[in-house]
Structure 1
Amino acid sequence: MPLFDVYPLYNVTPVSGKDMYVYDEKGVEYLDLYGGHAVISIGHSHPKYVKAITNQVSKLGFYSNAIQNPLQVELADKIEKLSGCKGYELFFCNSGAEANENALKLASFKTGKARVIAFNNSFHGRTSAAVAATDNKNIVAPINAQQQVTFLALNDIEGVKREVEKGDVCAVIVEFIQGVGGLDQGTAAFFEQVDALCKANNTYFIADEVQSGYGRSGKFFAFQYYNVTPEVISIAKGMGNGFPIGGILIHPNIEAKHGMLGTTFGGNHLACAAGLAVLNTIEEEKLIDNVNVISEYFISIAKTIPQIKTIKGKGLMIGLEFDFEIGDLRKKLIYEHHIFTGGASNKKLIRILPPLTIKKVHVNQFFEALKKTLVPIEVEK
């Protein structure tokens, strides 16, 4: 049976990985500066991670949410401790799309309203409400388009005010650093005014931290750079280091009701073991401190390269923007220098989303390869 052909594939077949590197079936080593869409947070095959999920699956891999699962409580307590989000409650699911779907559903349940405000170039997932709030008409089917979503420009505070004050908006959903959209950010004043408008108009402010969360921005959550208090925070990608797990943090003012949200696989024993291994490693290895050290070093070098016109993002969620489309550049980095990087809807921007364990030597390896690759491109121009 052939695979349904929805992914354009690079001709690389990874079969194993260790920390910052993956290896193909021929033993060729690739430096991973993309982490499989920012998923690999503590490095490939981290020994503590491997041990934790191996031990758990040897005992019990799964049972439903109809029984007690102390691992869920332990993981929730660990997230509260490391994130500083005191008093929030946690609902587990399996992915970022599912996290945002439940965040939007919860907002609609609790406010009794249906319309959503999202922002230009946003990406929130591929499930029904989440994809409707994603600014990409190519992936929104007619059944999704029935959702009521208004798209505005980042920093358009007058637009947000006008729409929210109409009284029918259940949620404003925002990436504090846009991912697929190209690493753009709103201003502090914008985010803080949006938060105030939401509070004044019975509207939920949803922080989509699926890609920017878990230390990637240099803080545990990217919204923590601002004076805002989201009603709901969605998390996923870096949460399980490759094991599917997601969730939403829910403000303590929001009351739960049996049956309101549900999931079969969310928060299963194996997922929680993976999640705990990730957080324990982030804490023990001081990986958020490392994010900030390496980010400063990376950006200092990027500023010396004249072909890089703009540096976007925070922490280890970095965008390098050129004045030409970078598809061929990324292919050269993969096939000639064996380095994985990411693209974006902005075709002139490379996304850098490495494991949080990255060291300066890896940064040097990247920039040495980038400089060699840029020389022939300059000649062609």
Structure 2
Amino acid sequence: MELFDVYPLYNVSPLKAEGLWVYDKDGEKYLDLYGGHAVISIGHSHPHYIKKISAQLEALGFYSNAVQNPLQKELAAQLGNISACDEYQLFLCNSGAEANENALKLASFHTGRSKVVAFKNGFHGRTSAAVAATDNPSINSLLNAQHQVDFVTLGDLQALEAQLAKGDVCAVIFECIQGVGGLDEASGDFYNSLEALCRKHDTLLIADEVQSGYGRTGDFFAFQKHGITPDIISMAKGMGNGFPIGGILIHPKIEAKHGMLGTTFGGNHLACAAGLAVLEVMEKEQLMKNTREVSAYFKDKARNIPHLKDIKGRGLMLGLEFDFAVAPLRKKLIHQKHIFTGGSANKNLIRILPPLNVTKEHIDLFIDALSETIQGQQL
């Protein structure tokens, strides 16, 4: 049997990893500044993470949500404390797409409406409603197109209010910083006005923090910089450091009813152990503080990179925008310098999404390698 060929793959086969370093089948060493799409939050093979998951696996790896699981309550308590979102309620699932799917479904249940407003250049996942709310026709099938979604430009309050005034929108879903789209972020005034408009028109506000959450921006959630209160917050990538886990935080004004949401694997014992390990390491090692400090260092060092037009993003969710398409440069960084970086819908932008325990020394290695590679290529 062959694999279904949907991924364009680099010719690299990692076999093990530790901290910021990934090792391939030939023993070559790679600096990971992409974290597998912002998934690796506390570094590869963190000893506390391994210990916590191993101990849980020896005790009980899985049982369904038909029985009580105290680990879920422990995870909820720790998450509420470190995120400063203790008033919310937690529903656990397996991925970011599933988190957004449940968020949109819950908004429709709560409001009795079916239409969604999303933003151009946004990305919310590849499942049914989540992909319909993603502004990329190439990954939307006719089946997905049955969902009612209107797209407006990020920052356009007039267009947004025109949609909400129709009275049929259950939710507005937004990324505070657009990840796949290329690290664009609107102003604080826009996000505050977005919240006010949703309140005015009895529409739920969904903050997609799947990529930008879990300390990646230096705040626990990216929206917290702007002082707003979403009705639902979706999260996933950095939540389990590679173990599949996702979830939504739900404002207490939304009433729970038995059976309205459900999942077989979501919130299982191993997933909760992974999630608890991540939060414990984040607190003990002060990784949000490290994120802010290394981010400032990165931005200062990066300003002298040749052909750089702009530095986008916050914390360790960063984009380097150049005056040329970066795909060939990223290939050279992988194959010649052994450094993983990310791309985006903006073909001139390199995404930097390292584990939150990245150091200034790692940044120095990257900046030197990047500058040397740019100077050595034909532009």
Does the pair score TM above 0.5? yes
Helix, strand or coil at the partner of 1:173: strand
For 1:54, what is the secondary structure of its paired residue?
helix
1:79-131 deviation digits (Å, cap 9, x = unpaired): 10000012100000000000000000000010001111111110000010000
**Deviation (angstroms), 1:228:** 1.0
| Equivalent AA in structure 2 for residue 335 of structure 1 | H
Write the distance in 2 (CA, Å) between the matches of 1:116 and 1:169.
5
In structure 2, the residue matched to 1:94 is 94
1:38-57 deviations in whole A, cap 9, x for unaligned? 00000000000000000001
Give the TM-score taking structure 2 as reference length.
0.99
**Cα deviation per residue 1:332-365 (whole Å; 9 max; x = unaligned)?**
0000000000000111100000000000000000
**Amino acid in structure 2 at the alignment position of 1:346:** N
Q: Does structure 1 residue 32 correspond to structure 2 residue 29?
A: no
What CA distance in whole angstroms lies between the structure 2 residues aligned with 1:253 and 1:146?
A: 29
Taking the aligned partners of 2:357 and 2:108, their CA distance within structure 1 comes to 39
Structure 1: 4+ residue segments shifted above 6 A: none
Correspondence for 1:143: 143
SS of alignment partner, residue 23 of structure 1: strand
Count of aligned positions: 379
Paired position in structure 1 for 2:210: 210
Following TM superposition, by how much is the alpha carbon of 1:227 offset from its aligned partner in structure 2, in angstroms? 2.2
1:70 aligned partner? 70
Q: Does 2:303 align with 1:303?
A: yes
User: 1:280-312 deviations in whole A, cap 9, x for unaligned?
Assistant: 000000000000000000000111224110110
Aligned to 1:152: 152
Letter of the 2:24 partner, please give it: D
Contact 2:231 2:251 in 1 (8 A): yes
Partner Cα distance (2:171, 2:187) in 1: 19
Conserved? CA contact 2:306–2:374, under 8 Å:
no
> What SS does structure 2 have at the residue aligned with 1:255?
coil
Look up the SS of the partner of 1:261 in the other structure.
Answer: coil
CA distance in 2, matches of 1:353, 1:79: 22
Instruction: Write the letter of the residue equivalent to 2:347.
Output: K
Q: What secondary structure is seen at the aligned counterpart in 1 of 2:301?
A: helix
1:12 aligns with 2:12: yes
Structure 1 residue aligned with 2:165 = 165
Contact 2:306 2:371 (8 Å CA) reproduced: no
1:273 maps to 273
* In 2: Cα distance, 1:133 partner to 1:58 partner: 41
Structure 2 distance, partners of 1:119, 1:275, is 30
Letter in 2 for 1:164: L
Contact 2:239–2:278 at 8 Å: present in 1 too?
yes
Task: Tell whether the 8 Å contact from 2:206 to 2:233 is kept in structure 1 after alignment.
Answer: yes
Aligned: 1:345 with 2:345: yes
Provide the secondary structure at the position in 2 that maps to 1:206. strand
Q: Is the 8 A contact 2:339 2:366 kept in 1?
A: yes
Find out whether 1:244 has 2:275 as its counterpart: no
**Structure 2 CA distance, aligned partners of 1:156 and 1:86?**
32
3-state SS, counterpart of residue 296 of structure 1:
helix
AA aligned opposite 2:197? L
| Residue segments in structure 2 that go unaligned for 5+ positions in a row | none
1:120 equivalent in structure 2 = 120
Q: Which amino acid aligns with 2:74?
A: E
3-state SS, counterpart of residue 146 of structure 2: coil
> Is 1:108 matched up with 2:111?
no
Q: CA deviation at 1:215?
A: 0.2
Q: Secondary structure at the match of 1:216?
A: coil
**Equivalent position SS for 2:123:** coil
Matched, 1:229 2:229: yes
The two structures have a TM-score, normalised by structure 1, of 0.99
Between the aligned partners of 1:22 and 1:330, the Cα distance in structure 2 is 17
Cα distance between partner residues in 2 of 1:104 and 1:154: 19
| One-letter amino acid of the structure 2 residue matched with residue 87 of structure 1 | E
Q: CA RMSD in A?
A: 0.6
